[in-house]
Structure 1
């Protein structure tokens, strides 16, 4: 893998600029709720129209059999426990990835991390970014169900609800029914420095942790893969292949400053309403290089921080990754369905990170293959709607 050309760390943006102050008003959160309600209503109309017209595909996805994905805080304690228990189960199952390909894999959970590592430079700032992660998150959800007996659905993390204090949210409060808490506090950390090519760096405020996670279901979790490109608060970056066996604790550095600046309710609403084409939508979501913004995508990842959360390649090594990408998918779904006719199959970009090296434009016939993570090869065309292909789900 040729990663060193990206110098320090991230595929999430650059340029020295002050973060936009958060505007976590009740109006922003209410507007977001209204957008989600509108999206759900439109989805129901689409499925009703299909059923009325007797379309063949309406028989596979209907209002009656939609899987409902809900926010973590909306789950009961038993439902949260069932989810974290299934994740722990996946971490206890043997890997399917051969160790001659990825020497560091030790669990079924690691299969997903290894796939993300190997494909990172083709699935960010590329034409497949959104669809690839939709398929990746759904395939992970199916593994929890089919291999660990999970009967629920993939929850999501609504960044806007907890932007001012994510560490005390039901996701990160460290209780038995959380996704585990913050890392142990490490004093004296400077800003987290993100660089991308020749663009000026972005400096992110440090969080209130930094060390090993010591509470909640994943307090004893072992991270096996990485790092590949892990930024540190002293401005340095730890690099490697990411594929060797490197056992260590799960670390987090939860940052309210990052959450409030880049993944607040206002930023979500503006992303959905102000970006009128897929190229601008997905680029703004990830952070326009040179703009100083890391987008809501980077905002969620760097709210978590730590190791492996701050490493673009190995970020699925933190189980909150899938709640974060559930929200990424929710935002895309909402944006799509507000102009479904024109946005359902809208794609833009090429097959490589910021088209480096230059590659052909992504098409609906391009194949996505998650390898040993599972799911099998599938076309982009089949991944463009949550009502079609292998999918049949909604968000509430």
Structure 2
């Protein structure tokens, strides 16, 4: 049996999982069949979003009245059981702390090749380091993050905690990258709305960086993460599998700048978060597909961080539309129907200290201290 470099990165993971790597020339485990991947189920079509905005009397930010775009709008169907209660108590407390010199997260196409390579090499550094032992069957330090996400998926998806939890999760990833692998550049994000329907032609999914996307659910065999074996997933189960992608332009073609502006036209936090999760967030995961479509184990594909930095950038831009209100309040419910307040905790299960929502509402707070290029 021969093992690739990526397989060697697993270290103790093979022993922990108890699963043998198939005897293939590359030593790479087979992909999870696409029909066995538990995908994101909160998916809202663009037409549903526009319908909802028409009913709310909202317009796109460019002034186009939405009811002129859909003159025959019909009453909306009943909301799904996953939609948060937008009438939950709105907790408002001032958040004054800001940092003086925030890090600026840079859009991928403005990132130099040197920065791109430094960033992806730092991720591979984490993947080469031993797991903490606190998140079995994680096989390396990077998979501690993947396992954490898998553990809490049901608590931080399909409810109003989604945006704030993932904001802190991306910050924790960045902090670990800096403190344990010496990453000293800006964190990148990728403007997916400017790449609608053409993810495959981006440098992101080139052989120089993340590797191919349009490979029909097969293993990624080029790029920085080629021939990688993963220990976390599919879903809430765990077995050794390769990093895979499928590529679905019917999903990524729905992810447009106008759609993001439409979501951000919604003034209520919990309603905005509901549509953000079900539209551009879902389209990105499903559009990349394979490992990325796995609702529980999607961080196994390092593209996850580019995507969720984009989701957070859109959230930060929404907050910037009315900072006096949107930095200082939150509403909606958690998974159990409890109202969110600024004192609700965001848990990282020991990866980093837990925080209150109030500590991370403002990206320029002393705790987070970052902003976005635009």
Q: Please classify the TM superposition score into its range, dividing by the shorter chain length.
A: 0.7 to 0.9
SS of the residue corresponding to residue 371 of structure 1 reads coil
Contact 1:105 1:225 survives alignment (8 Å)? yes
- Counterpart-to-counterpart distance in 1, 2:259 and 2:46: 19
**Deviation (angstroms), 1:153:** 2.4
**Deviation (angstroms), 1:286:** 1.6
TM-score by length of 1: 0.70
Match of 2:313 among 323, 330, 336: 330
Aligned length: 295
**Deviation (angstroms), 1:360:** 1.5
- Counterpart-to-counterpart distance in 2, 1:15 and 1:324: 19
**Deviation (angstroms), 1:215:** 1.1
- Counterpart-to-counterpart distance in 1, 2:96 and 2:317: 25
- Which runs of 5 or more residues in structure 2 are unaligned? 1-36, 51-60, 63-94
**Deviation (angstroms), 1:267:** 0.7
**Deviation (angstroms), 1:322:** 0.5
Contact 2:333 2:340 survives alignment (8 Å)? yes
Q: Counterpart in 1 of 2:126?
A: 90
- Counterpart-to-counterpart distance in 2, 1:227 and 1:133: 20
Contact 2:44 2:275 survives alignment (8 Å)? no
Q: Counterpart in 1 of 2:213?
A: 182
CA shift in 2, pair 1:17/1:380, >3 Å: closer
Matches within 5 A, 1:115-194: 115-174=148-207, 176=208, 178-182=209-213, 184=215
Q: Deviations over 1:203-243 (max 9, x none)?
A: xxxxxx32111111011222111011xxxxxxxxxxxx32x
Q: Counterpart in 1 of 2:289?
A: 305
Match of 1:394 among 354, 371, 374: 371
**Deviation (angstroms), 1:365:** 0.7
Q: Counterpart in 2 of 1:258?
A: 251
SS of the residue corresponding to residue 270 of structure 1 reads helix
SS of the residue corresponding to residue 204 of structure 2 reads coil
Q: Deviations over 1:241-288 (max 9, x none)?
A: 32x3x2221100122221112x1111112112x21111210111122x
- Which runs of 5 or more residues in structure 1 are unaligned? 1-6, 21-29, 32-54, 185-208, 229-240, 288-294, 353-357
SS of the residue corresponding to residue 70 of structure 1 reads strand
SS of the residue corresponding to residue 73 of structure 1 reads helix
Q: Counterpart in 1 of 2:224?
A: 217
SS of the residue corresponding to residue 122 of structure 1 reads helix
RMSD across aligned positions (CA)? 2.5
Q: Counterpart in 2 of 1:361?
A: 339
Q: Counterpart in 1 of 2:91?
A: none
Q: Counterpart in 2 of 1:341?
A: 324
CA shift in 2, pair 1:124/1:19, >3 Å: closer
Q: Deviations over 1:90-142 (max 9, x none)?
A: 011111143xxx54211111111111111111111223211110100011011
Q: Counterpart in 2 of 1:275?
A: 266
- Counterpart-to-counterpart distance in 2, 1:381 and 1:19: 29
Q: Deviations over 1:51-82 (max 9, x none)?
A: xxxx9945xx11xx220101111111110000
- Counterpart-to-counterpart distance in 1, 2:131 and 2:164: 25
CA shift in 2, pair 1:8/1:137, >3 Å: closer
